[in-house]
Amino acid sequence: MMGAMTQTVAHLGGKWATSVVEVSSDLRSLDQGGRWAVLLPYYGLPVAIRFRNWQDQPPDLGPASWLGPATGSWRSSLDELGYLQAVAEVRSAIAAGSVYQVNICRVLSAQLPDLDRCHIGGLSALLQAGNPAPYAGMICAPEIGVEVVTASPELFLERRADAICSGPIKGTGKVAADLTTKDEAENVMIVDLVRNDLSKVCVTGSVTVPDLLRVEAHPGLVHLASYISGTLLDEMRWPQIIEATFPPGSITGAPKSTAVRIIDELEPVPRDYYCGAIGWVDADEGTACLAVAIRTFWKSDGHLHFGTGAGITWSSDAQAEWRETELKAANLTDVAARSWQSGLT
């Protein structure tokens, strides 16, 4: 297994990407030709990798071996008491009138038990089997320190020429009956925020909400999702689009600028890739699909990391919000604890 998955490869939108042409942190590159794998950290510089080859079948990269951390080995950046205190701080800010909603997250970290058996391709295969997701993907570029795999259920931005769409998720339960009026109100708040974000780069009057409060089922839970679409202005390019819409509203809050400031104050460690965006951009075809980087693992310094969070409003019950973060993490950390040794599929 030594040496497998050492070259840069991506698996995004159902296609495998190989043969790197260039790597850039400049979003202007996304308008200059080629098909790119894109990773936008919540904090830090963008990572854009242009690949020459994109194909439906997995390339011959050799086997990928994975031995994950035990389920009980994860350590949280916020323990239960710390999370409850953060919820109380957000509710105080809401009472003061400075914010309506803030998404409070925690980062889980676990030491990898065997560095010779921690190829992110193996974890990607496990997730595809054990937690299938509409925006599943992987970017493995170990030479630049990027090894990220996602089972994201949430659309950040989809582009087809001048048509753009976003699909924020707010509201989580084990079954549809668990979803509450609080979840619906939270979702509508973020729909309004995303409408405002898109209006900055879209033709006046073109931003609409074709689907509001759709119940979507995923492994072990259900979500409320809404979809907002618009028509891009002719002069809009990717730097302007990302500036207007990033970070995603569903993982920050409303108003976004205040929510981001409160997140910086209350969350003890950086989110890193969590709550950013991951996906692909095809500059030649004028198409793209970027997911919100939730249900996402990344490797660094011999550890595996994973983020989980919940949206806090005035009507939040702190214990219920903590349980929501546990629910969102449970199936994924169980899958990551498994072992895998096979060819890439």
Q: Which of the residues are catalytic?
A: 154, 170
Q: Is 308 exposed, middle or buried (0-12, 13-18, 19+ CB in 10 A)?
A: buried
Tokens standing for 194?
């995303």
- Listing DSSP states for 203-248 in one string gives -TT--EEEEEEEEEEETTEEEEEEEEEEEB-TT--HHHHHHHH-S-
Write the CA distances from 167 to 160, 214, 242, 332, integer angstroms: 15, 10, 15, 22
Spatial separation of the C-alpha atoms in residues 93 and 63, rounded to whole Å: 51
Looking at residue 254, what DSSP letter applies? E
Q: What is the largest CA-CA distance in the chain?
A: 58
Spatial separation of the C-alpha atoms in residues 331 and 345, rounded to whole Å: 21
* Residue 204 near residue 256, CB atoms below 8 Å: no
Tokens standing for 232?
């891009």
Write the CA distances from 23 to 46, 50, 319, integer angstroms: 10, 6, 44
Tokens standing for 169?
């998720």
Q: How many CB atoms lie within 10 A of CB 146?
A: 22
Q: What's the N-to-C CA distance of the chain in angstroms?
A: 16
Spatial separation of the C-alpha atoms in residues 166 and 161, rounded to whole Å: 15
- Listing DSSP states for 136-148 in one string gives EEEEEEGGGTEEE
Spatial separation of the C-alpha atoms in residues 37 and 54, rounded to whole Å: 10
Tokens standing for 270?
């950086």
